[in-house]
A and B are shown apart, each in its own frame.
Chain A
Amino acid sequence: EVQLVESGGGLVKPGESLRLSCAASGFTFSNYVMHWVRQAPGKGLEWVSYISASTSYKYYADSMKGRFTVSRDNAKHSLYLQMNSLRAEDTAVYYCARGDHCSGGVCRDYGLDVWGQGTTVTVSS
């Protein structure tokens, strides 16, 4: 079964750090671009970050630049999001999602076709 499972969420104080993990199974993880997407309580979806299949390229939404770092370990089929200097407005459910399929150096976008169940991050004093 193709699956993504997030972990690492919790309650932290403003300014603190947290590291989220996303474990992939059922597919060749190293062949896919991965994204983090978040959803604040009662709000819509907000893209957080992108990481290429080979880890060569990483991109972030403007409000996360310099505070969040995305990484992946293809040998461990895992995706990570290191979040530093957390703010109250970072409170959200964080999802990892599978993006482009890459093969032979060519990537094809079929939408975010696999999502994890989400992990909740609460930033509050």
Chain B
Amino acid sequence: EIVLTQSPATLSLSPGERATLSCRASQSVSIYLAWYQQKPGQAPRLLIYDASNRATGIPARFSGSGSGTDFTLTISSLEPEDFAVYYCQQRGNWPPSLTFGGGTKVEIK
């Protein structure tokens, strides 16, 4: 079973700053990694799929990179609405189980 480890657990930043979130897989997942944003009381929202493809309607300040075991979600300049918890997720080839990372909370400094 592939384990996803996200770091840091918490990121304290100010609006306008750049956020860099990491997700490391215990074995290669190629490019098959997605990122989600979740705000309190809301369902998760897909940001990135296949490591670097922005989902429909996602602003360009969100970008994803990486392949194999190391992935990064970058928010180029934090907007007030970006303070939330971010999860990475991968899907096994077969059986198609999903694994989520533990999450990174981006909080206002």
Q: List the interface of chain A (C-beta within 8 A of B).
A: 33, 35, 37, 44-47, 50, 59, 61, 95, 109-113, 115-118
Contacts and interface: CB of A to CB of B under 8 A. Distances in A.
B21 to A, nearest CB: 14
B34 A111 contact: yes
Given A44-B100, A50-B98, A59-B97, A112 B56 contact: no
A112 B48 CA distance: 10
B43 A116 contact: yes
Given A50-B95, A95-B44, 12 more contacts: A44-B100, A45-B44, A50-B97, A59-B97, A109-B32, A109-B91, A111-B46, A113-B46, A113-B49, A113-B55, A116-B43, A118-B43
Chain B: interface size category: 20 to 34
B97 A115 contact: no
Nearest to B32: A109
Most chain A Cβ neighbours within 10 Å, of B43, B45, B97, B102: B43
Contact of B55 (A50, A109, A111, A117): A111
B63 interface: no
Interface in B67-104: 87, 89, 91, 95-103
Interface string B7-49: 0000000000000000000000000101010100001111011
8 contacts: A45-B87, A109-B91, A110-B50, A111-B34, A111-B48, A112-B44, A116-B43, A118-B43
